[in-house]
Structure 1
Amino acid sequence: MRNRVQPEVERYGAPAQLLHWLTALLVLGVFAVGFYMVGLNVSPLRLRLFSYHKWIGVTVFALALLRLAWRLVAPPPALPATMPAWERQAAAIGHRLLYLLVLAVPLSGWLMSSAKGFQTVYLGVLPIPDALAKNPPLGAALEAVHWGLNKMLLAMVCVHIAAALKHQFIDRDGVLLRMLPRRQRTGSA
């Protein structure tokens, strides 16, 4: 493999980068809390973790809406001209699916909580109205939907990370750099 210098690339703006990385950290955090809490017996810790899980989910949902709005104002930079058409199409489909899942997973969680009779109170102070009346059978069905959507989101996150690493270390085309802050070059004195 040749040791090529990475090309200078047009980058996402600071707001898009901040929203991306904040969403990424929160999604990883909500996965960690979610997978841990489901294995616990009913306890004050489990109930607190459910609250944290819901709060993070609401925040992820709000950030996704903000990201979509920002994208309308500041479209993403162009992909490298050297990228094959199939990869461009795969990237577009992958990003749309990520956005869809980042919205659908918290929405399914809110619907599930509503149907199970557990209101979401954001940060313990802001009650979010239930979307559905209490309906335990529907709540159980929505739990399965929420679980399935989470598995799909986790798979898409893994594919997204793998694609970014492929572009960075194999293609060396600067795609990953688009979402990283520019390093300031220091001159010699």
Structure 2
Amino acid sequence: MQWRNSTDSYGLIGRLLHWLVAVTVFGLFGLGIWMRGLDYYSSWYRAAPEIHKSIGMLLFGQMLVRVAWRFFSPGPAPLASHGSLVQVATRLMHELLYLGLFAVMIAGYLISTADGRSIEVFGWFAVPASVTSLANQADLAGMIHKYLAWLLVILAALHALAALKHHFIDRDSTLLRMAGRVSKAQVSIR
């Protein structure tokens, strides 16, 4: 079992970070939509936002680890069958996903700390409010958070569709490399 990424595939740590982020993002998105429909008398009215914020803060930390991991263990080289346009599109999509993730989390932080209160992360630690004086901070950050979350989920869905296209139409090992099921002999399965 390989822990680090190689020139041919993603290692265990890279795959775990990728899939954990993916599941967390879609989970937070679903939780965010669900909790907006809660009324004041719901037993989840206060708990759901606290869970959402706590998981969001943990995701922020995980994304910092993920960025550091990319420098420590770069991803596999592009497949020989991928032309320059596919390589540019791949790089652009990854950069947009990373940028979108950080932007949506920062906007969420600005919503939660607009009133000057810190964010309690499952009672383990608190993330202090550092920016509280922006005009209409909670409303503006809330609007940005909402639209960026939708954009992020759409980009992630396109990312997944591209991986499926590579697997089923192009019949290359793009998806297999992230699933951890590729050997050097499988780098191109055409």
* TM-score, with structure 1 as normaliser: 0.87
Q: CA deviation at 1:139?
A: 1.0
Distance in 2, Cα, partners of 1:183 & 1:91: 19
Offset, 1:124: 2.3
Displacement of 1:129: 0.2
Distance 1:142 1:56, change over 3 A: same
**Residues in 2 aligned to 1:115 and 1:71: alpha-carbon distance in whole angstroms:** 32
Q: 1:30 aligned to 19, 28, 31, which one?
A: 28
* 2:158 aligned partner: 159
Cα gap change, 1:183 to 1:73, in 2 (>3 Å): closer
Say whether residues 1:60 and 2:80 are aligned partners: no
Structure 1 gaps, min length 5: 1-8, 185-189
- Describe the SS at the equivalent of 1:171: coil
Contact map agreement 2:167 2:175 (CA 8 A) in 1: yes
Say if 1:48 and 1:93 are closer, same or farther in 2 by CA, change over 3 A.
same
Name the TM-score, length of structure 2 as normaliser. Answer: 0.86
Verify: 1:120 aligned to 2:119, yes or no. yes
- In the aligned structure 2, how far is the partner of 1:135 from the partner of 1:102? 22
CA 1:157–1:106: 2 relative to 1, 3 Å: same
Seen in structure 2, the aligned counterparts of structure 1 residues 86 and 183 have a Cα distance that, compared at 3 Å, is closer
Cα separation, 2, equivalents of 1:86 and 1:138: 40
1:183 Cα deviation from its structure 2 partner: 7.8
How many residues in Structure 1 have an aligned counterpart in Structure 2? 176
Q: Is the 8 A contact 2:14 2:69 kept in 1?
A: yes
The CA distance in 2 between the partners of 1:115 and 1:134, in whole Å, is 7
Letter in 1 for 2:131: L
Query: What amino acid is the match of 1:99?
Result: Y
Task: Output the CA distance in 1 between the equivalents of 2:89 and 2:106.
Answer: 25
Secondary structure of 2:79 counterpart? coil
CA distance in 1, matches of 2:107, 2:18: 22
For the 8 Å contact 2:9–2:182, the answer to whether it is kept is no
CA–CA distance in 2 between the matches of 1:163 and 1:103? 22
Alpha-carbon distance in 2 for matches of 1:99, 1:135: 25
Q: Counterpart amino acid of 2:65?
A: L
Q: Percent identity?
A: 36
| Contact 1:12 1:77 (C-alpha < 8 Å) held by counterparts | yes
Tell me the alpha carbon deviations over residues 30-63 of structure 1, each in whole angstroms, 9 at most, x when there is no partner: 1111110011112441210101111111121111
Q: How does 1:1-189 map to 2 (within 5 A)?
A: 10-42=8-40, 43-133=42-132, 137-182=136-181
| Stretches (4+) displaced over 4 A | none
Higher relative contact order (CA 8 A, sep 6+): 1
CA drift at 1:116: 4.1
